[in-house]
Amino acid sequence: MPIQAQFKPTAVPGIPQPPERIKKIRWKIAVMSGKGGVGKTTVAVNIAAELSRRGYSVGIFDSDITGPNVPKALGMLKVPIYASGDSIIPAEGPNGIKVISMGLMIREGDPVIWRGPLKNKFIQEVLNSVEWGDLDWLVVDLPPGTGDEPLSVMQLIPLDGVVIVTTPQEVALMDVRRAVHMARKMDVKVLGIVENMSYLRCPNGDIVRIFGSNGGKKLAEEENVPFLAEVPMDPEVAKLTDLGIPVALNRPDSEVGKAFQEIVDKILEQLGAAHGKDGEQS
Ligand SMILES: Nc1ncnc2c1ncn2[C@@H]1O[C@H](COP(=O)(O)OP(=O)(O)OP(=O)(O)O)[C@@H](O)[C@H]1O
Ligand SMILES: [Mg+2]
């Protein structure tokens, strides 16, 4: 039997059941990719922003411990996290989005130099201690790759699914395929693939596909998972993200804003949540 066929990540002994506080959140999804810098954090933050725009209560858990970018992307670098008794209270960002991130617990620029076991312990402790309150959605932003943090998150949170982000290049797709396979091996549903930085729209309306064409769509077909949307490369997105302003909230009518609406529509559809927060047609 080929060695790959035998490989199945197994639960680390001693890892407890999902914390009660997590179990009561209605929908829990994670955003991952085998590759760095493809836009996971941008996608996670904007999915959360779009869900909050539709009236859902939303939390984001930034599980990227050594490169926590969610607070910056939500303009929250100076927002503190408080403790109450033995609970951690999430910080509140735009539209009431609740955020837990290592980036809110350390000073800007301070490095976190931790090995895998400590990262796992941190994720476990945080998930046990955070009082999220009544949340409809928890969106988890994962660091690049298929290492410690994705494994811990998939073991500790009963995820409803993962969104996988890629860019169109071959090299990205190769790594992203690993993320699809990891989710499968962990029995987590792949909600679909987002192709980020798919094209650049010129001022005259023409489209330039800088990194190639349809890589994300082809991967989705080959892996038999849904294709969620193409998100164009837009200098405005990079600028607004640096300023901590999520495009989905502030430019919902832009091409990128609409792409995030398409992504969220498809996620809601797949999770049977398409009828809105209170069961009404959204
Ligand atoms: N569609 C887009 N158009 C323009 N810029 C984008 C787009 N998506 C992401 N970016 C920019 O690309 C950079 C990387 O994005 P992001 O931090 O979301 O990637 P990531 O996959 O989370 O990275 P990491 O692997 O380091 O966690 C950021 O500066 C972000 O603003
Ligand atoms: Mg990131």
pLDDT of residue 107: 80
Range of 147's domain? 22-165+234-269
Q: How many domains does the chain have?
A: 1
**226 domain-assigned:** no
- 259 contact partners, CB below 8 Å, separation of at least 6: 229, 230, 231, 232
Q: Which pLDDT band holds residue 174 (cuts at 50, 70, 90)?
A: confident
Residue 40 dihedral angles phi and psi, to the nearest 5°: -60, -50
Extract the tokens encoding 109: 């620029």
> Residues 215-251: pLDDT tens digits?
899 999 999 999 999 999 999 999 999 999 999 999 9
pTM higher than 0.85: yes
Of 174, 216, 177, 175, give the one whose Cα is nearest residue 197: 216
What is the Cα–Cα distance from 185 to 140, expressed in whole angstroms?
A: 19
Extract the tokens encoding 230: 């193409």
> Which residues are registered as beta bridge partners of 259?
none
Q: Is residue 281's pLDDT more than 60?
A: no
Extract the tokens encoding 155: 């073991």
Half-sphere exposure of 229 (CA within 13 A, CB side): 18
Residue nearest to atom 15 of ligand 1 (CA): 39
Of ligand 1's listed atoms, the one at least distance from the Cα of 144 is 25
What is the Cα–Cα distance from 226 to 229, expressed in whole angstroms?
A: 9
- pLDDT, mean of residues 6-24: 61
Of ligand 1's listed atoms, the one at least distance from the Cα of 242 is 31
Q: Is residue 2's pLDDT more than 60?
A: no
What is the Cα–Cα distance from 262 to 28, expressed in whole angstroms?
A: 19
**264 domain-assigned:** yes
**215 domain-assigned:** no
DSSP 129: H
What is the Cα–Cα distance from 104 to 71, expressed in whole angstroms?
A: 7
Our answer on whether the CB atom of 236 is closer than 6 Å to any ligand 1 atom is: no
Residue nearest to atom 8 of ligand 1 (CA): 39
**175 domain-assigned:** no
> Residues 102-118: pLDDT tens digits?
999 888 778 888 888 88
Q: Do 76 and 244 touch, CB atoms closer than 8 A?
A: yes
Our answer on whether the CB atom of 42 is closer than 6 Å to any ligand 1 atom is: yes
**257 domain-assigned:** yes
> Which residues are registered as beta bridge partners of 60?
99, 139
CA of 32 to the centre of ligand 2 (A): 9
**77 domain-assigned:** yes
Find the CATH number of the domain harbouring 130: 3.40.50.300
What is the Cα–Cα distance from 261 to 44, expressed in whole angstroms?
A: 13
Q: Do 81 and 91 touch, CB atoms closer than 8 A?
A: yes
Of 264, 267, 216, 278, give the one whose Cα is nearest residue 46: 264
**63 domain-assigned:** yes
Residue 28 dihedral angles phi and psi, to the nearest 5°: -130, 120
Which residue among 62, 241, 245, 254 has the greatest number of ligand 1 atoms within 8 angstroms of its CB, and so is best to mutate?
241
**161 domain-assigned:** yes
In the chain, pLDDT over 90 holds for what percent of residues?
68
SS3 92: strand
CA of 43 to the centre of ligand 1 (A): 8
Our answer on whether the CB atom of 196 is closer than 6 Å to any ligand 1 atom is: yes
